């Protein structure tokens, strides 16, 4: 916006899936006034609906995951507190972190050209999330090093997939058992153990490449 002037044209989005052609009609010290000229058709939203359930990692790693997941078209991000996770949040801090991550997602939407903001949930303990899972999806997957099935070899979901990824320390045996009871299928990303932020990017890129809009 700093390089734009009155009369310049640009595209704006409302976060709900709508994009508009607009013209700058005024610029103040910390704000700008736009004239909306027309609604445009956006082609930046993937038809594959991906819900990322991500074990919370420390500092900028979680920001990185939220940013890259947004760029890769994820529709919903649920940060979860796990047994091996080092991040501990009370109710107030959890809400503040959610607000921060939602802003990270909004910035990533602007950069990538997306017009619909992904939903970022308030952090919740993984066990509590298992007890209150949202509606059924076509595929429920949990990344597990050494799993017999590769993510790239699962059957194609019709429209929805939920992928569960652990924090720096991975999931505990009990958490894996809970996931299996909840209907999650263990899958791997290959022979190497990836960092949590790398695993998220790799998994989402594979899903979008195989069944989304990166293929």
Work out the number of other CB atoms within 10 angstroms of the CB of residue 79. 27
Where are the domains positioned within the chain? Answer: 9-40, 49-211
* Site of tokens 């790799």: 202
Mean pLDDT of 153-174: 94
DSSP state of 68: H
Task: Specify the pTM.
Answer: 0.82
User: What CATH number labels 49-211?
Assistant: 3.40.1280.10
DSSP state of 152: G
pLDDT band at 15 (very low <50, low <70, confident <90, very high): very low
pLDDT recorded at residue 16: 52
| C-alpha distance from residue 84 to each of 7, 77, 87, 137, 187 (Å) | 54, 20, 9, 27, 20
Q: Residue 153 has which token pair?
A: 């070899």
Q: How far is CA 1 from CA 12, 16, 35, 120, 206, in A?
A: 12, 22, 15, 26, 34
Contact 67, 73 (CB under 8 A): no
Of the pLDDT bands very low, low, confident and very high (cuts 50, 70, 90), residue 177 is very high
Backbone angles phi, psi at 77, to 5 degrees: -125, 125
pLDDT at residue 59 is higher than 50? yes
């Amino acid at each position: 916006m700093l390089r734009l002037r009155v009369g310049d044209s640009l595209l704006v989005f409302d976060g709900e899936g709508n994009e508009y052609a607009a013209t700058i009609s005024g610029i103040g010290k910390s704000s700008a006034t736009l004239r909306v000229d027309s609604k445009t058709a956006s082609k930046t939203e993937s038809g594959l609906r991906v819900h990322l359930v991500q074990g919370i990692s420390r500092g900028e790693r979680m920001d990185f995951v939220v940013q890259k997941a947004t760029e890769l078209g994820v529709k919903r991000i649920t940060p979860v507190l796990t047994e091996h996770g080092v991040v501990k949040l009370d109710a107030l801090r959890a809400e503040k972190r959610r607000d921060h991550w939602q802003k990270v997602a909004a910035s990533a939407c602007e950069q990538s050209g997306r017009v619909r903001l992904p939903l970022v949930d308030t952090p919740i303990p993984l066990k509590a999330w298992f007890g209150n899972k949202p509606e059924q999806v076509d595929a429920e997957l949990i990344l597990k090093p050494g799993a017999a099935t590769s993510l790239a070899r699962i059957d194609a979901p019709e429209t929805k997939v939920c992928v569960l990824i652990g924090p720096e320390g991975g999931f505990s045996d009990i958490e894996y058992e809970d996931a299996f009871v909840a209907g999650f299928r263990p899958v791997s990303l290959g022979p190497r153990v990836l960092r949590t932020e790398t695993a998220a990017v790799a998994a989402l890129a594979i899903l979008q490449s195989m069944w989304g809009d990166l293929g």
